[in-house]
Amino acid sequence: MSMLLVHELHEARDRILLLRQHLTDAREKELAAYHPFLNEQIDLLSDALEQAKIPERYRVAVVGRFKVGKSSFINKLADERLAGVDTNPETAAISVFRYDTQARAEVEVISKEAWDGLAADHAADPKSPDVKRYDRFVSFNDRPPRKDREGRVVAGSKFDLVALAACLT
């Protein structure tokens, strides 16, 4: 959207706000017989302003077949390596990326019972999409090394996954 069009949209919004204020002021001065009409017009302008409001957040879905460059596209768009590109397809699950001043991750904690259920389901069928979370956990240390923007390998730590799983209570 061009800056000229954005400027015109902001001017139109300002004119609508001013018109709504004039109608509100007129309602105080006009005869009671005109109040329903003025109220209707004020409500219509308020509804139009609400529908035209610029959202604080946008959601964009990047959709496509496996291994066609969706993750590379996201990384290029963000100018940072957020999505894995040298791994097995990760996009079978939904990944959510949000802007923040620093890179971070959110972790969803599950109960020991739920974890044990995932482990049992994984043992029964490791390829099931329902146990993807558990499969990623047990293979976490086997992931390829992470790279920075220049393509240099970033040293990573290995984790004692058995000890970590034992911490579940």
pLDDT surpassing 80 at residue 143: no
Query: Token pair for residue 153?
Result: 């390998």
Domain span including residue 100: 56-106
Report how many domains make up the chain. Answer: 3
Give the Cα separation of 151 and 74 in Å (integer): 16
Query: Are 117 and 83 part of one and the same domain?
Result: no
* Same-domain status, 39 and 68: no
Residues 60 and 14 in one domain: no
Name, in order, each residue with C-beta under 8 angstroms of 139's C-beta and a sequence gap of 6 or more: none
User: What is residue 168's predicted lDDT score, i.e. its pLDDT?
Assistant: 66
**pLDDT digits over 92-130, tens only?**
567 777 777 777 777 677 788 888 888 899 899 988 887
Reported as a pLDDT band with limits 50, 70 and 90, residue 132 is confident
Instruction: Summarize the confidence of residues 132-138 as an average pLDDT.
Output: 78
Cβ–Cβ under 8 Å, residues 71 and 84 = yes
Whether residue 99 is found in the same domain as residue 71: yes
The answer on pLDDT for 20 being more than 90 is yes
Same domain, 164 and 132: yes
The gap between the terminal CA atoms of the chain, to the nearest Å, is 52
In sign, the C-alpha dihedral spanning 145, 147, 151, 154 is: negative
Same domain, 41 and 77: no
Question: Mind listing the pLDDT tens digit for each residue in 49-61?
Answer: 888 877 666 677 8
The verdict on 17 and 62 lying in the same domain is no
- HEC secondary structure over 105-155: CCCCCCCHHHHHHHHHHHHHCCCCHHHHHHHHHHCHHHCCCEECCCCCEEC
How many CA atoms within 13 Å lie on the side-chain side of 8? 5
Question: Which of 83, 58, 55, 54 lies closest to 71, judged by CA?
Answer: 83
76 and 120 both lie in a single domain: no
114 plus 100 within the same structural domain: no
Q: Are 47 and 61 within one domain?
A: no
pLDDT digit string, tens, across residues 22-51: 999 999 998 999 899 999 999 999 999 888
Q: Do 112 and 150 reside in the same domain of the chain?
A: yes
pLDDT class of 83 with cuts at 50, 70, 90: confident
Residue 32 tokens read as: 């009671």
Q: Tell me how far apart the alpha carbons of residues 73 and 16 are, in angstroms, rounded to a whole number.
A: 40
pLDDT at 87: 60
Instruction: Please check whether residues 86 and 127 belong to one and the same domain.
Output: no
